Amino acid sequence: MSRVLFILILTLITSSCEHYFYKDKEKVENFENFLKIKLSFEEDFKWNSSFVNGDPISRPVGSWQNLLESKSYCLNYRVPSPSNVGVLQVVRKKEANCPVLPTNNEEMSLQNINDLKVKFTTDHIKGKSIRNAVFGFKLSFEYLKEKRELEFPLINRMRSGEFTQAKMTKYSSSGTYRMNKGLRVTRDLDKKMRSSMWPGDWDLKESNQILFCEKKNKDCKIQGESFCGECLYGWEYVVDYNCSGGGSKVCSPVKCGQKGRPACPRGIAWSGIDARELCFDDSPAGFCESDLRVICAEDGILVCN
């Protein structure tokens, strides 16, 4: 077997197993974030009224059921049985209809689901009143004996079919009619949305897991596109160069100072050392938890080891 073929096979195996390297808590949080990102701005919803009513889904035992369908995605559920665990599954549609179940052509799934309840919310999302604008979507379930609840808005699912389909800009009076009071989101806005998700522990050997939303060079010039405004959980500074106003930025959360994570900056701009490049082992420009050492990683930023 040639070396190139061996590397290709190894890469395919590693990428296919990547999801299973996560810890249990990371798996469920990653899946919940995935649902929010993929479904919040979807449209053209269809749902299975037999299951999306807030009642526990316990029958037919062991069967696969389609719960929700949108323009681009299908949300499926395998009802748990004595021989099979419950599974929530998100599938991207390649045709007009959801694929016939069961299917392995999934974007993401989460196993060990029990006591699943799914319903639409109308006036309140997380206790906040939503005035005649959008529906919310709520899931509650048990994951590895832990009760969890997930709720997020479906921005483009309107309460009434009478709402105008005209393209409107935020706070535009020219596109607002008396019967259509309240905030509206144009269909153009769903083309670009916040999409960063933190996949779990950051491995020093797999530095591509950290998402730079603004990367600077030693001349403090921004390299490529700056998109920190799109980070789902905000952004934070890392320590690389002694730039006025701070160095490069990465999408949160990074939990700086912990093992395997970026070092915490000592202020926005380190002035305790007369050097442009601050990334070197034991650099005083960053700090870690007391039992860890500051080192310079391959990405050119300080990390804790």
Ranges 2-16, 105-119, 244-258, 261-275, most confident: 105-119
Which pLDDT value is given to residue 93? 92
Which pLDDT value is given to residue 73? 95
User: Does position 62 have pLDDT exceeding 90, yes or no?
Assistant: yes
- Tell me the C-alpha distance between 233 and 194, whole Å: 9
- Tell me the C-alpha distance between 78 and 83, whole Å: 12
The token duo for 288 is 């870690």
- Tell me the C-alpha distance between 275 and 270, whole Å: 10
With a pLDDT cut of 70, the percent of the chain lying above it is 69
pLDDT band at 230 (very low <50, low <70, confident <90, very high): confident
Which pLDDT value is given to residue 204? 41
3-class secondary structure per residue, 148-181: EEEEEEEEEEECCCCCCCCCCCCCCCCCCCHHHC
Q: How many helices (H) and strands (E) does the chain have?
A: 2, 17
Which pLDDT value is given to residue 139? 93
The token duo for 248 is 């490069």
Residue listed under structure tokens 């002035």: 271
The overall average pLDDT reported for the chain is 76
User: Does position 98 have pLDDT exceeding 80, yes or no?
Assistant: yes
Which pLDDT value is given to residue 266? 81
Q: Residue 191: name the closest of 31, 76, 71, 33 by CA.
A: 71
The token duo for 32 is 């919940």
Q: Rg of the Cα trace of the chain?
A: 23
Which pLDDT value is given to residue 63? 93
User: Does position 174 have pLDDT exceeding 60, yes or no?
Assistant: no
* pLDDT per residue as tens digits for the range 65-84: 999 999 999 999 999 999 99
Which pLDDT value is given to residue 2? 60
Q: What is the mean pLDDT of residues 15-23?
A: 52
User: Does position 11 have pLDDT exceeding 90, yes or no?
Assistant: no
Which pLDDT value is given to residue 123? 55
User: Does position 172 have pLDDT exceeding 60, yes or no?
Assistant: no
pLDDT higher at 267 or 38: 38
